[in-house]
Amino acid sequence: MNKLSKLGEPLSVGAVTIRNRVFLAPMSGVTDEAFRTRAYAHGAGLVVSEMVASGELAKGRGSSGFRIRHSGLPVHMVQLAGREAAHMAEAARIAVGEGADVIDINMGCPAKKVTGGYAGSALMRDLDFALTLIDAVVEAVDVPVTLKMRLGWDDDVLNAPELARRAEQAGVSMVTVHGRTRCQFYKGKADWQAIARVKQAVSIPVVANGDVATPEDAAEILEQSGADAVMAGRSHYGAPWTAGMIAAVASGASAAGVPSSASALADYAIAHYEDMLALYGTESGLRQARKHLGWYLDRHAAEVPDELRRGVLTSFDPAQVISSLREALTSFGEPERNAA
């Protein structure tokens, strides 16, 4: 695993120092405060907020203010999305006012509800316009600004290297590239070699993203892309320790706090559930947590009977959910063998 050794090293992003080079990707509806805190405790080098709509934040609407709340971690990174320069600038100022150490601009989200509003990866169809948003954010704040993108809109518009180069010229301190186009969504295999063209176009750090789930994946994406760091996203479903596990292997250590028995796994998932109830309140927390509980079952207890699974995922009684979850994971659960 010598190829991984650099991932255990610190990385400077502007004036901010990140403790290692294995990052948790921002994921809407997933990387809330409860999830980020867990991922960081396991050893992730950097964790990023859920994507925040800049217009909603600038206007003080919805849950956007809740999403940018500082969680007390050493580096607080907030990701913003939008297509109005004034809103992006104001949202960045608000986030920094709430303690953000780094502002990330989303130009990679493929979701139709985002691209339909000409935000996220839709911005890669008009780089001149995309640069007006980058300029607005960079000029609005004194903290490092980073950018997350895809390879392009589709196979005919693979303009990530050009966007990265222009972003660096505009003052962006780091770029993350997901090795798919927008039109691929999450289908097929991420093209790790294509990320190398972005690395060759800039002198700022480049983070490689897409299909990173294991230390072996991380080593291969580094070799193919030449990137400075890696970012893992969906592989954290049901395993908030994924980035920490990769970072631990890179540094020759053991990942912190990873459950190593079925009973420990049950305790872990229940604690996560209780954290979410405390974060959102019981009524909202019940709904918000179900996807996470489903991922724990899918990943670690796939053979759980349907009736018991329903007891975990449909009950409105937290005590019943906890009882069913404990039974499911202690009776049918099996922790990942490579997680420790």
Residues noted as catalytic = 109
Q: Give the strand pairing for 52-53 and 46-47.
A: unpaired
Closest residue by Cα to residue 49 from 79, 85, 15, 69: 79
- Nearest alpha-carbon partner for 91 in 55, 67, 61: 55
Helix (H, G, I), strand (E, B) or coil at 2: helix
In terms of residues, how long is the chain?
340
In the sheet with 145-150, reading across from the earlier edge strand, the strands are: 46-47, 22-24, 229-232, 206-209, 174-178, 145-150, 102-107, 77-81, 52-53
Query: Which two tokens mark 287?
Result: 């709904």
Question: 156, exposed or middle or buried, with CB in 10 Å at 0-12, 13-18, 19+?
Answer: exposed
Q: Which residues contact 261 (CB under 8 A, 6 or more apart)?
A: 335
- What single-letter DSSP state applies at residue 57? H
The count of other CB atoms within 10 Å of the CB of residue 226 is 17
Cα–Cα distance for residue pair 336/87, rounded to 1 Å = 43
Contact (CB, 8 A) for 11 and 17: yes
Give the span between the Cα atoms of 259 and 249, in whole angstroms: 16
**What is the rounded CA–CA span in Å between residue 31 and residue 17?**
21
Task: List C-alpha distances in Å: 124 to 152, 230, 327.
Answer: 6, 22, 48
3-state DSSP helix/strand/coil % of the chain, to nearest 5 = 50, 15, 35
